Structure 1
Amino acid sequence: MERYCYALDLVDDPELIAEYERWHSSENGWPEIRESILDAHILSMEIYRTGNRLFMIMEVSDEFSATRKAEMDASNPKVQEWEQLMWRFQKPLPWAKEGEKWLPMQRIFDLKAQ
């Protein structure tokens, strides 16, 4: 099992942030999105927020491939619809390249390594 951590910003608007959180609640999440995550061999995914900054932790199986996940997402109309909807709330980090959303974070400390 491997862990990936990503960051992304939201548009700094309390109403949009609240709506974004509503879309991510268990009663409003799209089952097709959950299915696409599980089909990609993602075992666990959590998203945390502070202010308008998001932090996502994914734990994946050995079969996970980020390239394959991107290919699967690109060919899935429902995932593309979800991504378009989410762009209403999200904004790239200042150092993101054109079209990039969630950016990988670099681990700089590990208590177990001390």
Structure 2
Amino acid sequence: MQRFVLTLQLRPDPSLVAEYVARHREVWPAVLDSLRDSGILRSEIFLHGFQLIMVLDTTDDFTLEHKAVMDQANPIVMRWEQEMAKFQAVDNAGNDASKRWIVLENVFRFAA
């Protein structure tokens, strides 16, 4: 299993943040299917102010690049990503949702 931790900044508008959170309480089934089909075993998003942290636990053969290719080929996922873009303070990514989230480097791990 692999773990990825990513971050993204939301637009600094409390009403948009509230809507983003509400939308993630009812993620479209086809979007959830695409996560599963790509090799994501577990996905969690945490919020602090306007900052998001996403944790992905994946199969050993999962890659973010392959997930991006799968997303581009799925019109429902692309529509979801277009709708999510209005909440995200990432204007330089254009239509490429895979460039919105930044992968964080693990600098410390403790395991008992």
TM-score (norm 1): 0.88
| 1:21 alignment counterpart | 21
- Per the TM alignment, residue 98 of structure 1 is displaced from its structure 2 partner at its CA by 3.1
| Pair 1:111 & 2:105 matched | no
Per-residue CA shift, 1:45-94, capped at 9, x if unaligned?
000000000000000012312221111100100011011000100113xx
> For residue 92 of structure 2, what is the amino acid of its counterpart?
E
| 2:69 alignment counterpart | 71
Matches within 5 A, 1:23-62: 23-25=23-25, 28-62=26-60
Among the aligned pairs, what percent are the same residue? Answer: 37
Q: Identify the structure with the greater helix proportion.
A: 2
Counterpart CA distance in 2 for 1:51 and 1:66 is 26
| 1:10 alignment counterpart | 10
Give the aligned CA root-mean-square deviation in angstroms.
1.5
> For residue 35 of structure 2, what is the amino acid of its counterpart?
I
| Pair 1:98 & 2:92 matched | yes
TM-score (norm 2): 0.90
Gaps of 5+ in 2: 94-98
> For residue 24 of structure 1, what is the amino acid of its counterpart?
H
User: Secondary structure, in 3 states, of the residue corresponding to 2:69?
Assistant: helix
User: Secondary structure, in 3 states, of the residue corresponding to 1:45?
Assistant: strand
Gaps of 5+ in 1: none
User: Secondary structure, in 3 states, of the residue corresponding to 1:90?
Assistant: coil
Counterpart CA distance in 2 for 1:74 and 1:49 is 26
- Per the TM alignment, residue 42 of structure 1 is displaced from its structure 2 partner at its CA by 0.4
Counterpart CA distance in 2 for 1:66 and 1:75 is 14
User: Secondary structure, in 3 states, of the residue corresponding to 1:3?
Assistant: strand
Counterpart CA distance in 2 for 1:110 and 1:47 is 20
